[in-house]
């Protein structure tokens, strides 16, 4: 969806909270203990307690609560680095993508940080279909 995100595995809540405060991030969590922290109850830090185990319902909750747009910035940043992707020509990526991809795809994007190449393949198609479900009517 093009929103800057970080994943924490839950082993160090203090580090996660400090990072969220320093970088102005919203915490999405299934951990009720985090919701009881003073920085959260005092309104210093926004945290959302994710209610469902179902990923689709989780998406709905986050999109509705934060009033996110699921189309506007979709596929614009790197999934690993959060860096805005840069367009690359077919020739520029010739030796960087599998031959089948090179033959079948014409549009490419590159992450300026990790140099991962993105194209509109089957993963992109599947994610686009999924995101369509979350467009507000």
Strand 47-49, strand 86-88: pairing:
unpaired
Q: How far is the CB of 81 from Zn ion (least distance, A)?
A: 3
Decide: helix, strand or coil at residue 28.
Answer: strand
Candidate residues 114, 126, 127, 135; the one interacting with Zn ion per rule CB under 5 A: 114
Candidate residues 26, 81, 96, 101; the one interacting with Zn ion per rule CB under 5 A: 81
Q: Are 94 and 114 in contact (CB under 8 A)?
A: no
Q: 8 Cβ partners below 8 Å, 6+ apart?
A: 15, 16, 19
Q: How far is the CB of 117 from Zn ion (least distance, A)?
A: 10
Shorter beta-carbon distance to Zn ion: residue 28 or 81: 81
DSSP state of 68: -
Q: How far is the CB of 113 from Zn ion (least distance, A)?
A: 5
Work out whether 80 is an interface residue with Zn ion (CB under 5 A): yes
Q: 52 Cβ partners below 8 Å, 6+ apart?
A: 58, 61
Q: Which stretch binds Zn ion (CB under 5 A): 22-30, 74-82, 98-106, 122-130?
A: 74-82
Contact residues for Zn ion, defined by CB under 5 A: 78, 80-81, 111, 113-114, 116
């Amino acid at each position: 969806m093009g929103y800057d995100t970080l994943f924490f595995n839950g082993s160090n809540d203090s580090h996660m909270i400090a990072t969220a405060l320093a970088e102005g991030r919203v915490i999405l969590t299934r951990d009720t203990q985090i919701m009881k922290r003073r920085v959260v109850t005092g309104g210093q830090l926004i945290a959302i307690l994710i209610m469902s185990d179902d990923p689709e319902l989780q998406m709905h909750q986050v999109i509705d609560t934060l009033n996110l747009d699921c189309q506007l910035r979709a596929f614009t940043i790197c999934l690993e680095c959060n860096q805005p992707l840069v367009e690359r020509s077919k020739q520029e990526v010739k030796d960087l993508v599998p031959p089948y991809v090179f033959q079948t795809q014409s549009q490419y994007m590159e992450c300026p940080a990790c140099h991962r190449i993105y194209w509109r393949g089957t993963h992109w198609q599947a994610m686009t279909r999924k995101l369509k479900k979350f467009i507000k009517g």
